Amino acid sequence: MAADVRVVSRDHFGTASLTAFLELMAPFASPVVGLATGNTPGPFYASLHREVGHGRASLADLRPFAIDEYVGRADHPCSNREFFARHWDTIPGARAVHQFEVTATDLAAEAVRFAALLEAAGGLDVVVLGIGLNGHLAFNEPGSASDSVSRLTALTETTRESARPCWGDATPTHGLTLGLAEILEARRALLLVNGAAKAAVLHRALAGPVSSECPASFLQEHPALTVVADDAAAACWVQSSREASD
């Protein structure tokens, strides 16, 4: 099925992301939801916070799971754990996010534990994703197979460059991530993309060859994908769609 791609102005990115999210969650009584972190979803979490605060949405039945984590200090302000503390735990009624424990002595075993926890919950109903400049999904870097599972993974230089402004000298070399298998098995997928820097990779993901070289391209085969992109991020995709229909 073709993806539902919603192109919105920068100012409406947060509300449009939230609208899509609430639509995707609606069919599930107690949805298991994978949550993205990073710069992209900031406006989404802000909208969610506002709507829940006003009683127009509720997270009480939502079972949240992280989709990845840096292997670094868990209490570092740039860890995903701290991201959730700021952007999720502050939302009234939100349940604690199941997260990778990077303090585990055996990180490979920790990835297995996390996957088993997710499986016991029934797998993901909805996954909220960002996309890396290199096409990664969570920390599934280029080269990741579509059937890859939850694991410890080495971060590419591109990903480390993106992390460096926040992490500085402590920029992690590794991450723990859900695999593409667990992500692509989500019953509904929501990809959030904003900013001109992501225009080329979004086009590649939606219209380029489906290949491990761009892990996000596997989303083309997802049966229920919604994309919310701001004008800047959608520019290449919109242009090529126009050319294709001329």
If binding is defined by CB under 6 A, does position 130 make contact with ligand PGA? yes
Task: Please give the Cα distance from 34 to 46 (Å, whole number).
Answer: 17
User: Contact between 14 and ligand PGA (CB under 6 A)?
Assistant: no
| 49 flagged as catalytic | no
Q: What is the DSSP string of 176-233?
A: EE--HHHHHTSSEEEEEE-SGGGHHHHHHHHHS--BTTBGGGGGGG-TTEEEEEEHHH
Strand order in the sheet with 68-70: 68-70, 174-177, 151-154
Distance CA 134, CA 211 (A): 13
The β-bridge relationship of strands 32-35 and 63-66 is parallel
Task: List the catalytic residue out of 51, 110, 125, 134.
Answer: 134
- 201 touches ligand PGA by CB under 6 A: no
Q: Which stretch binds ligand PGA (CB under 6 A): 1-9, 131-139, 217-225, 236-244?
A: 131-139
Q: Does 39 bind ligand PGA (CB under 6 A)?
A: yes
136 catalytic per annotation: yes
The question of whether 68 is a catalytic residue gets the answer: yes
Query: CB-based contacts of 162: which residues, under 8 Å, 6+ apart?
Result: 132, 133
Q: Does 175 bind ligand PGA (CB under 6 A)?
A: no
Q: Is 86 in the site for ligand PGA (CB under 6 A)?
A: no
By C-alpha distance, which of 138, 135, 181, 114 is closest to 36? Answer: 138
40 binds ligand PGA (CB under 6 A): yes
Q: Of these, 57, 59, 62, 131, which contacts ligand PGA (CB under 6 A)?
A: 131
Closest CB 70 distance from ligand PGA, rounded Å: 11
Residue 72 contacts ligand PGA per CB under 6 A: no
Contact residues toward ligand PGA (CB under 6 A) are 38-40, 130-132, 136
Residues noted as catalytic: 68, 134, 136, 141
